[in-house]
C-alpha cells in the first residue's frame, strides 16, 4: 500500500499536512497541524520525513503507528516510552503553544517562549517527537529489551537571584564584563556546533586562557553520554537529530542530551510553561583554574528538542569544582538566568548590534533588577521579638496593654497546651516522656550545684534543700500560668553571685541576712511589675540577633570556664597536695561569673584522708575526677549526636538522643560511686534545714537599710529583665516555628510575683535560664536534615508546644527532696563538671557568632551557603565577627572580674551594647550588611 501524501504548505521549518491524512487522523481531530522539523531516523520501511518541504512515502508510517497506539482513547497522552518495532515516543514530546498568524509572521518574536508540556486537543498544536531507532526490529530484541538504557533525570527549583541583597550577583556580572566572551549572530544550527564555537572562542581569547584544559573533553562532559565507550560505527541517515553527535555512534544509539541546564519556567493552571528562547548550560570541570561565562546570540531561532523549540540565546558557564558555595557554576548560572528570564531584556538584546551595546544592555538590566528588589526602609532582618513597628512614647504609657494583649493572645489556646500530643491523631507521648526525663535532670542537677554553692556562701541560710524546693514551687507556678511554658526557670550563676555579695554586705554592716535578702527581692519584684505594666519589654526590640548571641555565648563560656577551674582546683588539692586550696577568702568564693568551682571541692572529706602513706591516694582521686568529667561530656554529646548516625532504628536513635543527659549522668555516677568506690570522691554538702517555710523578719531593718536594698534591687531587676526577655526571645526565635504566640509582658509579671514569695521565705530566686529553655524547645521539636549545595543542616519542622513536660519535670524535682541525702549524694561533683560542659557544648549549636568564628579556620570551599554568606562580602563578615568578639571580651571582663562589685554592674554593660550596635557599628560596616547578618534567613 504505497500512497503519496502531498504537503499542503510550508512555513519556515514547519510542515503543515492535509487534514484527514492517515498520519494525523489517527492522532488528533482532523485539522491543520504544524510539525516543526520532523526528522526520522532509519526505519525498516525506508527513510521518510527527512526534511521540511519534502514529499516522501508516508503510507507505512500510519499503519505501524495505528498498531501500537489505538488501544487507547484518542485524547489520552502517549506513554512515556512506547516501544514497538523500534519506535519510541516521549510523553513530553507534545507541547502546546499559540500559533496566531500575526505572532507567527512577526520578526524577532519568540513564538515558543511559553510552551506548555501537556497534550490538548485543539485546532492549532505544535509538538516535537523524538524517535530513536536502532535498526531492524526482532522479536528477541523486543522480549529481552535490547538497546534499553537508563537515564536519570533530576529537577529542582532555583530562586531568582536578588540583585539588591546577594553581593555575588553584582560581582558575577562585573567579572563577566571585565573579560566578556560574547558571540553575536552565530550561524551554527546544531547545539553541538554552537557549543564548539563557544569553546573555540574561549580557547582563542588570551584573557580566558586555560593551558591545562582540553576543550574536547569539556565538550564531551556537557552531555549525558560523557565517558561512554564508543563502540561500533553507526551513522545517521537523513538530517541530524537535534543535539545528536553525528560523528560516531555505538551499536545502539546513545542518548546525547545536555547534563545540566537552567531554564525559566512559569507555573500555570494548565501545567508548567518553559521559556524556550534561551538556555543556560552549566558544567563543572576539574582542569579549570577559574570560572568562565560565554553568551552566544544565534542568528536564527533553533529547535533543539523538547522545551527548547525557539532558542536564540545560549549561556555557557564553566567552573572548577573547588569553589566557594556562592561561586559555583550553579550560582553563576543563576545570576545570568535571572537576567534572561525577563522577556523585555531579551528583546533588547536582539536589537543590539555590537558587543558594547550588548554589555550596556546587561548593565541596564542589572540596574533594573537592583531597583526592583529594593525594599522599603525599616527592619529587613525578619527578626523581632515583639513586632516590627517602630516604638513610640504612647506605647509605654498604655499601662497594662502589653499584659492584656498577651493574655488575649495565649488564653484561647491554653487548653491546647494540655491536650496537644495527647488527644488527636498526632500523638507525641513518647517524646513527652523523654523530654520530661531530660528536663528533670536539667533542672535538678543545677539546683543541687547552686544549692551547694549558696550553702557555702550563706553558711547554711540557703541550702540544697531550699534550692530544690524553690525550684519545684516556682517551676510549677510558671508552667501552669505562663504565656510561654517552654521557657525554663532556674536559679543561675549570676544570682549566686548576688547572693554572695549580699552575704558580704550583711557581714560588713551587721545586717540580718534573711531580712536584707527579702527586701532586695521585694524591690526587685516591684521594679519588674513596673516594667511589665509600662510595657518596657518592648525595648528588647532594640536587641538585635547579634547582641543576643553575644550574651548567649558569654553564658556558655562561663559554664566552660567554671568547669575547668573546678577540675584545676581538684588537681591542686589532690594531685599536688596544695594545703592552701581550702584556705580561701570570700573573694575567691566566686572566681568567675559562673559557678563557684570551689564548692565542687571535697568539703565533706576529712583532711587526713587526702593522702595515704605512699602519697598517691589524692592523685588517684584527681585523675578519676578528670575521667568522670570528660566521660560525662563524651557520652552525653555522643548520644546527643546519635540521631545522625545510621545505627539502630530511627525511633531508638531519637530516644537515646533525647535522654543523652540523664544517661551520661547516671552512668558515670555509678562509675564514680560504685565501680571505684575505694577511691574517695568529692560530693556536695547537705545540711538539713529546720523548716522550709520561715518568714523573713523584714521589719527588723532600718529605713536606711531598706533604701540601700532598693539600689541592689534595681540592679537585680535589670539582670532579671535582660535575662528573662533574651531567653524568651531565643525561645521564640522564628527558626523554632512556634505558632501559639508570645507573652513577654505577662511572663515578666509572673516572674515578679513568683520571686516575691521566694524572697519572703528565704528561697533562692529564679528566672529564665539559658541554654535550658532553647534545649527544651529542641527536645520537643521534629527536626529534618536538609542538603543545600553539599552542606547538611538541620531545620525544625514543628514543635509540640505543651505545659505537661515542664509540669511533670518540676513535680519530680519536688519529689527529689525524698532522695536527700542519699542517693543524690552519690552523684560526684566531677559529674556535675561534665554536665556543665555538656550544656555549654550543646548550647553553641546554631549560634551564628560561633559559626562565623569557625569560618576563620575554614577554606572558602567549605563555607555553608547561609544567608549572610550570600548577602555580605567576606571581608565585612570577618570585620563584624571581630567586633562581636571584642564586645564579648569586654562582657567577660566585667562578668568574670575578681572584684565582686564589678560583676554586679555587668547588666548595664549588656544594655550598653545597644548604642554600640546602632551608633558605632554602622560607622564601620554598612547598615545593609549589618541588617543582613542580624537576619534569621
Pairing type for strands 82-84 and 87-89 reads antiparallel
User: Alpha-carbon distance 281 to 263, whole Å?
Assistant: 9
How much is the average pLDDT of 102-125?
A: 39
Report phi then psi at 632, rounded to 5.
-65, -40
Q: Among 373-377, 455-459, 574-578, name the most confident range.
A: 455-459
Q: Is the pLDDT reported for residue 813 higher than 80?
A: yes
Which pLDDT does position 71 carry in this prediction?
Answer: 39
pLDDT bin (cut points 50, 70, 90) of residue 16 is very low
Beta carbons of 317 and 221 less than 8 angstroms apart: no
* Residue appearing with cell numbers 532600718: 702
Q: Is the pLDDT reported for residue 249 higher than 50?
A: no
User: Alpha-carbon distance 569 to 46, whole Å?
Assistant: 94
Encode pLDDT of 636-650 as tens digits: 999 998 888 888 888
Which pLDDT does position 692 carry in this prediction?
Answer: 75
Other C-beta atoms lying within 10 Å of the C-beta of residue 790: 11
Report phi then psi at 57, rounded to 5.
-75, 105
Report phi then psi at 16, rounded to 5.
-105, 130
Q: Select the more confidently predicted residue: 622 or 244.
A: 622
Which pLDDT does position 777 carry in this prediction?
Answer: 93
Encode pLDDT of 889-923 as tens digits: 998 888 787 776 777 777 888 888 888 888 889 98
Radius of gyration of the chain (CA): 37
Q: Is the pLDDT reported for residue 96 higher than 50?
A: no
Which pLDDT does position 373 carry in this prediction?
Answer: 67
- Strand, coil or helix: 410: helix
Percent above pLDDT 90 for the chain: 26
Which pLDDT does position 848 carry in this prediction?
Answer: 85
User: Alpha-carbon distance 110 to 633, whole Å?
Assistant: 65
Q: Which residues pair with 116 in a beta bridge?
A: 96, 273
Q: Is the pLDDT reported for residue 518 higher than 70?
A: yes
Which pLDDT does position 395 carry in this prediction?
Answer: 79
User: Alpha-carbon distance 341 to 587, whole Å?
Assistant: 69
pLDDT bin (cut points 50, 70, 90) of residue 937 is low
Q: Select the more confidently predicted residue: 117 or 859.
A: 859
Which pLDDT does position 487 carry in this prediction?
Answer: 95
How much is the average pLDDT of 685-713?
A: 84
pTM: predicted TM-score of the whole model, two decimal places: 0.69
Q: Select the more confidently predicted residue: 435 or 22.
A: 435
- Strand, coil or helix: 624: helix
Q: Among 142-151, 396-405, 500-509, 514-523, name the most confident range.
A: 514-523
Q: Select the more confidently predicted residue: 226 or 85.
A: 226
Beta carbons of 403 and 532 less than 8 angstroms apart: yes
Q: Is the pLDDT reported for residue 121 higher than 90?
A: no
Q: Is the pLDDT reported for residue 370 higher than 50?
A: yes
How much is the average pLDDT of 347-373?
A: 88
Beta carbons of 362 and 335 less than 8 angstroms apart: no
Residue 340: which residues within 8 A CB-CB, separation 6 or more?
Answer: 264, 278, 280, 313, 315, 346
pLDDT bin (cut points 50, 70, 90) of residue 35 is very low
Q: Is the pLDDT reported for residue 667 higher than 50?
A: yes
Which pLDDT does position 760 carry in this prediction?
Answer: 93
Which pLDDT does position 147 carry in this prediction?
Answer: 62
Range with the lowest mean pLDDT among 749-763, 805-819, 886-900?
886-900
Range with the lowest mean pLDDT among 547-551, 714-718, 878-882?
547-551
Range with the lowest mean pLDDT among 122-131, 169-178, 678-687, 928-937?
122-131
Angle made by CA atoms 775, 778, 783, in degrees to the nearest 5: 155
Q: SS3 sequence, 442-493?
A: HHHHHHHHHHHHHHHHHCCCCCHHHHHHHHHHHHHHHHHHCCCCCCCEECCH
Range with the lowest mean pLDDT among 237-246, 336-345, 421-430, 820-829?
237-246
pLDDT bin (cut points 50, 70, 90) of residue 63 is very low
How much is the average pLDDT of 291-319?
A: 90
Q: Select the more confidently predicted residue: 590 or 416.
A: 416
Q: SS3 sequence, 295-354?
A: EEEEEEEECCCCCCCCEEEEEEEEECCCCCCCCCHHHHHHHHHHHHCCHHHHHHHHHCCC
Which pLDDT does position 313 carry in this prediction?
Answer: 93
Amino acid at each position: 500500500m504505497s500512497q503519496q501524501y502531498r504537503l499542503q504548505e510550508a512555513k519556515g521549518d514547519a510542515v503543515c499536512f492535509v487534514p484527514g491524512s492517515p498520519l494525523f487522523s489517527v492522532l488528533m481531530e482532523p485539522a491543520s497541524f504544524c510539525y516543526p522539523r520532523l526528522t526520522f531516523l532509519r526505519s525498516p520501511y525506508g527513510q521518510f520525513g527527512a526534511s521540511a518541504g519534502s514529499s516522501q512515502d508516508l503510507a507505512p508510517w500510519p499503519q505501524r503507528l495505528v498498531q501500537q497506539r489505538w488501544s487507547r482513547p484518542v485524547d489520552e497522552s502517549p506513554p512515556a516510552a512506547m516501544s514497538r518495532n523500534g519506535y519510541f515516543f516521549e510523553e513530553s514530546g507534545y507541547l502546546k503553544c499559540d500559533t496566531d498568524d500575526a505572532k507567527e509572521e512577526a520578526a524577532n518574536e519568540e513564538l515558543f517562549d511559553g510552551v506548555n508540556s501537556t497534550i490538548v486537543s485543539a485546532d492549532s498544536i505544535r509538538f516535537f517527537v523524538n524517535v530513536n531507532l536502532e535498526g531492524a526490529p526482532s522479536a528477541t530484541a523486543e522480549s529481552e529489551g535490547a538497546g534499553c538504557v537508563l537515564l536519570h533525570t533530576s529537577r529542582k527549583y532555583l530562586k531568582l537571584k536578588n540583585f539588591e541583597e546577594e553581593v555575588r550577583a553584582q560581582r558575577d556580572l562585573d567579572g563577566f564584563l571585565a573579560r566578556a566572551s560574547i558571540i553575536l549572530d552565530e550561524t551554527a544550527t546544531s547545539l553541538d556546533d554552537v557549543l564548539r564555537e563557544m569553546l573555540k572562542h574561549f580557547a582563542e581569547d588570551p584573557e580566558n586562557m586555560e593551558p591545562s584544559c582540553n576543550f574536547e573533553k569539556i565538550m564531551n562532559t556537557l552531555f549525558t553520554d560523557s565517558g561512554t565507550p564508543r563502540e561500533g560505527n553507526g551513522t545517521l541517515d537523513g538530517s541530524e537529530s537535534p543535539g545528536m553527535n553525528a560523528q560516531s555512534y555505538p551499536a545502539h544509539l546513545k542518548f546525547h542530551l545536555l547534563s545540566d541546564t537552567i531554564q525559566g519556567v512559569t507555573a500555570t493552571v494548565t501545567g508548567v510553561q518553559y521559556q524556550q528562547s534561551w538556555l543556560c548550560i552549566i558544567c563543572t570541570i576539574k582542569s579549570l583554574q577559574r570560572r568562565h561565562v560565554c553568551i552566544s546570540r544565534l542568528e536564527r531561532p533553533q529547535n533543539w528538542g523538547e522545551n527548547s523549540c525557539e532558542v536564540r540565546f545560549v549561556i555557557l558557564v564553566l567552573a572548577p569544582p573547588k569553589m566557594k558555595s556562592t561561586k559555583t557554576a550553579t550560582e553563576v548560572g543563576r545570576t545570568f538566568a535571572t537576567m534572561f528570564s525577563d522577556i523585555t531584556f531579551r528583546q533588547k538584546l536582539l536589537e543590539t548590534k555590537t558587543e558594547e551595546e550588548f554589555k550596556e544592555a546587561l548593565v541596564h538590566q542589572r540596574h533594573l533588577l537592583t531597583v526592583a528588589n529594593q525594599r522599603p526602609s525599616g527592619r529587613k532582618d525578619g527578626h523581632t521579638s515583639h513586632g516590627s513597628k517602630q516604638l513610640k512614647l504612647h506605647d509605654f504609657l498604655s499601662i497594662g496593654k502589653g499584659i492584656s494583649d498577651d493574655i488575649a493572645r495565649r488564653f484561647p489556646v491554653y487548653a491546647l497546651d494540655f491536650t496537644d500530643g495527647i488527644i488527636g491523631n498526632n500523638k507525641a507521648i513518647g517524646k513527652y516522656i523523654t523530654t520530661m526525663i531530660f528536663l528533670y535532670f536539667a533542672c535538678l542537677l543545677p539546683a543541687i550545684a547552686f544549692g551547694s554553692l549558696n550553702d557555702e556562701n550563706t553558711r547554711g541560710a540557703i541550702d540544697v534543700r531550699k534550692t530544690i524546693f524553690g525550684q519545684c514551687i516556682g517551676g510549677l507556678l510558671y508552667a501552669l500560668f505562663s504565656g510561654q511554658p517552654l521557657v525554663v526557670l532556674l536559679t543561675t550563676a549570676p544570682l549566686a553571685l548576688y547572693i554572695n555579695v549580699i552575704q558580704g554586705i550583711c557581714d560588713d554592716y551587721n545586717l540580718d541576712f534573711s531580712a536584707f535578702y527579702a527586701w532586695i527581692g521585694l524591690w526587685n519584684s516591684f521594679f519588674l511589675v513596673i516594667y511589665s505594666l509600662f510595657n518596657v519589654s518592648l525595648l528588647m526590640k532594640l536587641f538585635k540577633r547579634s547582641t543576643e548571641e553575644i550574651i548567649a555565648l558569654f553564658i556558655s563560656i562561663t559554664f566552660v570556664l567554671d568547669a575547668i577551674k573546678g577540675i584545676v582546683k581538684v588537681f591542686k588539692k589532690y594531685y599536688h597536695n596544695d594545703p592552701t586550696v581550702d584556705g580561701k577568702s570570700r573573694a575567691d568564693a566566686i572566681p568567675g561569673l559562673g559557678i563557684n568551682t570551689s564548692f565542687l571541692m571535697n568539703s565533706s572529706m576529712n583532711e587526713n584522708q587526702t593522702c595515704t602513706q605512699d602519697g598517691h591516694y589524692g592523685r588517684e582521686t584527681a585523675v578519676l575526677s578528670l575521667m568522670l568529667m570528660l566521660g560525662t561530656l563524651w557520652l552525653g554529646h555522643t548520644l546527643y549526636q546519635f540521631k545522625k548516625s545510621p545505627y539502630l532504628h530511627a525511633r531508638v536513635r531519637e530516644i537515646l538522643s533525647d535522654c543523652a543527659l540523664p544517661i551520661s549522668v547516671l552512668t558515670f555516677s555509678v562509675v564514680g560511686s560504685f565501680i571505684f568506690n575505694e577511691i574517695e570522691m568529692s560530693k556536695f554538702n547537705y545540711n538539713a534545714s529546720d523548716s522550709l517555710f520561715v518568714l523573713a523578719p523584714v521589719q527588723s531593718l532600718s529605713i536606711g537599710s531598706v533604701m540601700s536594698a532598693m539600689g541592689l534591687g534595681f540592679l537585680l531587676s535589670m539582670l532579671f529583665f535582660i535575662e528573662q526577655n533574651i531567653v524568651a526571645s531565643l525561645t521564640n526565635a522564628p527558626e523554632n516555628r512556634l505558632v501559639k504566640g508570645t507573652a513577654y509582658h505577662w511572663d515578666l509579671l509572673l516572674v515578679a510575683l513568683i520571686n516575691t514569695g521566694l524572697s519572703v521565705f528565704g528561697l533562692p530566686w529564679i528566672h529564665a535560664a539559658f541554654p535550658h529553655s532553647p534545649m527544651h524547645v529542641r527536645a520537643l521539636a521534629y527536626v529534618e536534615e536538609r542538603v543545600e549545595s553539599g552542606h547538611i543542616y538541620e531545620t525544625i519542622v514543628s514543635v509540640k508546644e505543651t505545659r505537661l513536660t515542664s509540669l511533670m519535670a518540676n513535680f519530680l524535682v519536688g519529689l527529689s527532696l525524698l532522695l536527700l541525702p542519699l542517693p543524690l549524694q552519690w552523684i560526684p561533683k566531677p559529674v556535675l563538671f561534665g554536665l556543665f560542659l555538656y550544656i555549654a557544648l550543646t548550647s553553641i549549636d546554631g549560634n551564628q557568632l560561633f559559626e562565623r568564628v569557625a569560618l576563620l579556620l575554614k577554606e572558602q570551599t567549605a563555607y555553608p551557603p547561609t544567608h549572610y554568606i550570600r548577602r555580605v562580602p567576606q571581608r565585612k563578615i570577618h570585620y563584624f565577627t571581630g567586633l562581636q568578639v571584642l564586645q564579648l571580651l569586654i562582657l567577660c571582663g566585667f562578668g568574670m572580674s575578681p572584684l565582686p562589685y564589678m560583676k554586679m554592674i555587668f547588666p548595664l554593660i549588656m544594655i550598653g551594647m545597644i548604642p554600640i550596635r546602632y551608633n558605632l557599628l554602622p560607622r564601620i560596616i554598612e547598615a545593609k550588611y549589618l541588617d543582613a547578618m542580624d537576619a534569621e534567613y
